[in-house]
Amino acid sequence: MGWYMLRWDERYRLGNLDIDMQHRKLFELVNNLSQMAKIGITPELSRIIEELKAYARLHFKFEESVFSKSEYHNIDSHIRAHDKFIFRVNSFERILEENKEDLDISIIVNFLNSWLITHILQEDMEYKRFILTTDITHEQ
């Protein structure tokens, strides 16, 4: 199986400049991780996962603060999805610490790639119209 690189595309755009920029940064961090994973399990790999987790935390907080101010109705389950992601990353970190020889790192990398894409296209897209309508209605 090859290593998949994320590429930014218009279909990921939510229309909030900060959120879109943060998503691009997450793409970049996951791609860095994929690059590092090709080399193997190194301390640098753990450092990038740590960086990804820290950035994802900040981003989730920001995103939650934006959609919580809107009429979006799925706030609780969306926050749970974010928490669950952090929980998964924590478990990956523990797996890496165990340093098992037969660990297939591509499973972790593929999870991160597909989680990010699926989360943006499904869960994040759900709040898109709510964060956009706020300003538009006020302008009229």
Which residue number has the CB closest to Fe ion? 124
Tokens of 76: 């609780």
Read off φ and ψ for residue 69, nearest 5 degrees: -85, -5
Q: Min. distance of Cβ 127 from Fe ion in angstroms?
A: 8
Binding-site ranges for Fe ion (CB under 5 A): 63, 124
Q: Min. distance of Cβ 48 from Fe ion in angstroms?
A: 21
| Tally of CB atoms within 10 A around 61 | 12
Of 136, 7, 127, 138, whose CA–CA distance to 60 is shortest? 127
Q: Min. distance of Cβ 47 from Fe ion in angstroms?
A: 24
Please, which residue, 106 or 111, has the CB nearer to Fe ion?
111
| Tally of CB atoms within 10 A around 59 | 18
Please, which residue, 65 or 140, has the CB nearer to Fe ion?
65
Q: Min. distance of Cβ 63 from Fe ion in angstroms?
A: 5
Please, which residue, 42 or 134, has the CB nearer to Fe ion?
134
- The residue assigned the tokens 């109705």 is 73
Please give the C-alpha separations between residue 136 and each of 9, 129, 133, 139, in angstroms, as whole numbers. 24, 11, 5, 5
Please, which residue, 28 or 123, has the CB nearer to Fe ion?
123
